[in-house]
Amino acid sequence: MTEEKREQVLSVQPWGIEIDGPRNEDVLIQCIPGCVMRGAVRAGKPIVDTQNRSWISGDESQHLGQYPPIPGMQLHVNPAKLTYAISDPLSDDEDLCDKIKLVMDRTGPYHSTGRLRGVPTQKGTLDAHRMKTLVREMRWLVDSGYARVVKGAKPDQAAVDNLPGNYLLNPGLRTFSTQPRFEKDFSAWIEQLTKAGG
């Protein structure tokens, strides 16, 4: 890695977010295959009735108000090392897990048969392209109100743009596609399709 590229990577320090959306929802992280993260759950947030596909307020739900505030899962990245870690604050809080289980068992409709535990920590390494795209995705989650920063500082977009690699056009794609891999190639691809009558 050249000195210039090293400085660009170091300009984005390690940082982390907690999933904390406006409606107690989970979030799919496109840049990490198969990654769905639980959001923070609090009674005051509006929630979705998935069966009736309608909104109901958290205060109107029959049992959510009896639960203690439940923290969302966290995503931490170190762009210089191309590493990420997904952690669950419930894993380190047996007391909170016991309180959640008590409410679940008392109020239904969900019942837990064993001890409630958080999701085990998952760690991994990404290539430069996927890390650059992930850091931007994390910024978007914070900016749109679906996450909050819990470690470090949200990097400037210009610093993210200067990270090594290219933004992936469709980081969540898991099947074959004729689309280009990178966003920078999309316009030329569209132009070629237009010329070919596609």
Q: Looking at residue 95, what DSSP letter applies?
A: H
Domain chopping of the chain, boundaries: 3-166, 168-198
Q: Record the tokens describing residue 197, joined without a space.
A: 């009558």
In the block, residue with structure tokens 């001890």: 115
The length of the chain is 198
Q: In 10 A of CB 140, how many CB atoms?
A: 12
Greatest C-alpha distance within the chain? 65
Confidence at residue 79, expressed as pLDDT on a 0 to 100 scale: 97
Please tell me the predicted confidence (pLDDT) of residue 130.
Answer: 97
Report the relative pairing of strands 54-56 and 47-49 from DSSP bridges.
Answer: antiparallel
* Res 94: pLDDT: 93
pLDDT of residue 97: 93
Structural contact between residues 174 and 30, judged by C-beta atoms closer than 8 angstroms: no
Q: What is the pLDDT along the chain (198 residues), one digit of tens a residue?
A: 566 655 655 689 999 999 999 988 999 999 999 999 999 998 777 665 556 655 555 444 556 778 899 999 999 999 999 999 999 999 989 999 999 888 888 876 667 778 888 999 999 999 999 999 999 999 999 999 999 999 999 999 999 999 999 999 999 888 888 889 999 988 898 888 888 775
Amino acid at 119: V
Residue 49, classed as helix, strand or coil, is strand
Q: What is the pLDDT of residue 43?
A: 78
